[in-house]
Amino acid sequence: MGKGSLISFEGIDGSGKTDQLFNLAKELYSRDKSVNVFLTREPTDSAWGRKIRGILKSDADALGKARECLDLFVADRREHVEKAIKPALASGATVICDRYLHSTYAFQQAQGIPFGEIRKAQSGIMQPDAVFLLDVPAEIAFGRIRRRGTGGNEKFEQLGFMKRLRECYLQLPRQLPQDNMTVIDGTGTREEVFARILRECGRMRVL
């Protein structure tokens, strides 16, 4: 995959995706110092993103507000694509996004919204060129969150929801077989996980 590519990292909270996307960015730069890597995340710091974070941190019924969450995540993503991702790609940058299109499929299905409804809501949004889905058991991910001192601060970080969310993530390759997605075993050391990612990079034409 050459310059001007969009790569996303997905997984439940505590899966290690954020560490690994930084590792990939460093690897890309180490192989070619002329590479421009643009790191970004969702939800963003837009008005939409701030509202999402407010709901997840303080709303007692956050998990029940599935359609409101869907609308907010999609609105945030559409603005993100137009204002940040497309300009970065146009400049020739490799864009690496911490959560993107597939997060909405997983999170909002876990909240009870049908796949078809989510797909319709996301119609026309730019597809990523490659997706790395880091998979770890929910209990391991929850333990990691607790050790970093943030466990339970968001409604999506509750163990029961994380178990359901993991199941929804793992069904995405079947639901979206045309997407260039690979599931990475996220257990083990950071070095072991990144070695697995590198092995997949050639097949996915990321490196």
Give residue-wise pLDDT tens across range 110-125: 999 999 999 999 999 9
Domain-by-domain residue ranges, the chain? 6-204
Partners of 6 in beta bridges: 95
Residues 72-88 pLDDT 10s: 999 999 999 999 999 99
Least confident residue range of 108-122, 146-160, 193-207: 146-160
Q: Judging by beta carbons within 10 Å of its beta carbon (0-12, 13-18, 19+), is residue 100 exposed, middle or buried?
A: buried
**pLDDT band at residue 148 under the 50/70/90 scheme:** confident
Residues 12-30 pLDDT 10s: 999 999 999 999 999 999 9
Using a cut of 0.85, tell me whether the model's pTM lies above it.
yes
- 6-204 folds as Rossmann fold (3.40.50)
Residues 48-64 pLDDT 10s: 999 998 888 876 676 78
Q: What is the DSSP string of 82-133?
A: IIIIHHHHHTTPEEEEES-HHHHHHHHHHTT--HHHHHHHTTTPPPPSEEEE
Let me know: does 75 contact 122? Beta carbons within 8 Å: no
